[in-house]
Amino acid sequence: MRFESLDFIYMPSPDPAAELDWFEKTLGAEVVFAIERFGTRVAMLQPATGPAVLLAGHLHGERPILVFRVESLNEAAAELEAAGASVSAEFGIPHGPIREIEAPGGHRLAIYELTRPETAEHLKGRRDW
């Protein structure tokens, strides 16, 4: 199994609007989108280089989730489970199906398969707040 790339870092955020403002104005991060749906707010920021940062109002916990893209979600999950990892049931994000991985020390990891590549272009520039 090979992680293709670290695409996203999901950050729990009690106030995505305030944090979005800080990342944009203080760090100069590009705001890719800021949406409000299903009773929560999520904003994607793109630093100059590296993975996108998502501020997620619905995400619980203190630690971020590192989200890696894989070619085949089912194959990667099977390989991880065969190696002894605990992998969650599949659920969805706008870009495709995703599964969380339990890691030692409380670290938060996830793998996803990019099945809806058009999502990035569809959300780009959207600013609900």
Provide CB contacts within 8 A for 82, sequence distance 6+: none
Q: Residue 98 belongs to a domain with what CATH number?
A: 3.10.180.10
CA distances from 21 to 9, 61, 128 (A): 18, 22, 14
Q: Considering the domain boundaries, does residue 129 fall inside one?
A: no
Q: What is the pLDDT of residues 47-106, one digit of tens each?
A: 888 999 999 999 999 999 999 999 999 999 999 999 999 999 999 999 999 999 999 999
Query: What is the predicted pLDDT for the residue at 1?
Result: 65
Q: Considering the domain boundaries, does residue 23 fall inside one?
A: yes
Q: Considering the domain boundaries, does residue 21 fall inside one?
A: yes
Whole-number Å distance between alpha carbons of 106 and 123: 31
Mean pLDDT of the chain: 95
Domain span holding position 102? 3-123
> What's the total number of domains in the chain?
1
Q: Considering the domain boundaries, does residue 81 fall inside one?
A: yes
Q: What is the pLDDT of residues 90-121, one digit of tens each?
A: 999 999 999 999 999 999 999 999 999 999 99
